């Protein structure tokens, strides 16, 4: 298995230039990228709540949070199938994930949020309708360690997990997450 490593600073500078933000005045509220290596891996299933095994099995109920490991050896306990996964080192500062809502049920449209464990911020990973299948490929999510590094969480906070999912109030869903890369 071959892992590819890239320089995130170079990628970030390229992205900023592509969207016209490079060279903005210093008072612009764009954070300077922290240089980290980006390592890409074959899709690695760290969670599948349909499996009926592991700590997390079954549907996420409306309003339910689910905190997960994305690195280290604990991912096998989450109901995924990481047997083909390389060992993702700990800590990682961010992960590239594919998030899938499967066999959704309920009466209302819903959203599934994702954020670093322990942080107040975060965003919607996917919006889904009951009875449908929804996915978001290639989402970059900060981890608890990354949030600490960037000052969003106190350095004294214990990062027991890496990321947290939050299911909205409209529906229930099974969740599948594959990691496709990480920031060291």
The pLDDT value recorded for residue 81 is 65
Report pLDDT for 74. Answer: 67
Kind of pairing, strands 163-167 and 134-142?
unpaired
**pLDDT value for 32:** 41
Q: Tell me whether the omega of the peptide bond preceding residue 91 falls within 30 degrees of 0, making it cis.
A: yes
Helices (H), the chain: 8-18, 144-149
- In the block, residue with structure tokens 């990481």: 82
How confident is the model at residue 125, as a pLDDT?
86
Confidence at residue 72, expressed as pLDDT on a 0 to 100 scale: 73
Listed by start position, the domains of the chain span 37-183
For each of the chain's 184 residues, which pLDDT tens digit applies?
444 444 443 334 333 333 333 443 433 334 444 556 899 988 888 888 887 666 788 899 999 999 998 887 667 667 666 666 778 888 899 999 999 999 999 888 889 999 999 988 778 888 888 888 898 888 899 999 999 998 889 989 998 899 999 999 989 999 999 999 999 8
pTM of the complete model: 0.76
């Amino acid at each position: 298995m071959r892992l590819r490593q890239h320089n995130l600073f170079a990628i970030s500078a390229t992205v900023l230039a592509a969207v016209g933000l490079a060279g903005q005045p210093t008072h612009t509220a764009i954070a300077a990228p922290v240089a980290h290596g980006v390592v890409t891996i074959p899709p690695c299933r760290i969670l599948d709540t349909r499996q009926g095994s592991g700590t997390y099995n079954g549907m996420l109920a409306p309003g339910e949070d689910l905190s997960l490991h994305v690195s280290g050896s604990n991912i096998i306990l989450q109901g995924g199938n990481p047997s083909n996964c390389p060992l993702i080192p700990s800590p990682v500062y961010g992960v590239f994930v594919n998030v899938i809502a499967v066999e959704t049920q309920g009466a209302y449209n819903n959203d599934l949020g994702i954020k670093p464990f322990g942080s107040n911020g975060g965003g919607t990973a996917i919006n889904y309708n009951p009875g449908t299948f929804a996915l978001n490929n290639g989402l970059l999510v900060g981890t608890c360690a990354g949030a600490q590094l960037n000052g969003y969480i106190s350095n004294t906070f214990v990062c027991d997990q890496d990321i947290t999912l939050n299911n909205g109030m409209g529906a229930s869903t099974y969740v599948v997450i594959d990691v496709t890369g990480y920031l060291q």
